[in-house]
Amino acid sequence: MAAIAIGQVPLWMVITFAKAPGKTICQKLKATFSPSENYGPRDPMIRGEWNAWKQEQLKARKGRFAA
């Protein structure tokens, strides 16, 4: 019973990898581990705040490594 439950993890990994966009293995691997377009909060107001926060974090991160 446990083998069936644990066996599903690699099975779904292979299925997800096979369905991923891209022609090469590297493209498929990158697409598999990148977030989808609809990732994030559903509420439009919260999503706007979240996107603004992400942009601030990105600018701060770039600022630290620019020097």
Domain borders along the chain are: 1-34, 41-67
For position 67, what pLDDT does the model report?
56
Asked if residue 64 has pLDDT above 80, the reply is no
Between CA 36 and CA 43, with CA 40 as vertex, the angle to 5 degrees is 130
Supply the DSSP symbol for 1: -
> Considering the chain, what percentage of its residues have pLDDT values greater than 70?
96
In this predicted structure, the answer to whether residue 66 has a pLDDT above a threshold of 70 is no
- The counts of H helices and E strands in the chain are 3, 0
Whether 38 has a pLDDT exceeding 80, the answer reads: yes
Give the predicted TM-score (pTM) of the model.
0.56
Q: Say what the pLDDT of residue 29 is.
A: 93
pLDDT surpassing 60 at residue 45: yes
